[in-house]
């Protein structure tokens, strides 16, 4: 389930530059808003996906 939510977060960030900027500015808040516990490993995974 978390994987699906993270994928959706990344897709939205790729499609919306303003949203991407807000996600990059505060990964933990964005992860929590997606309904996922913002563990350091999750934040690092998201950071890597967004930096591609």
pTM to 2 decimal places:
0.86
Question: Where do the structural domains in the chain lie, given as residue ranges?
Answer: 2-50
CB 50 within 8 A of CB 24: yes
CB 1 within 8 A of CB 35: no
Query: Could you read off the pLDDT of 12-49 as tens digits, one per residue?
Result: 999 999 999 999 999 999 999 999 999 999 999 999 99
């Amino acid at each position: 389930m978390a994987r699906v939510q993270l994928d959706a977060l990344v897709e939205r960030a790729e499609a919306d530059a303003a949203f991407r900027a807000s996600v990059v500015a505060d990964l933990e808040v964005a992860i929590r808003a997606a309904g996922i516990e913002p563990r350091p490993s999750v934040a690092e995974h998201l950071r890597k996906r967004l930096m591609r």
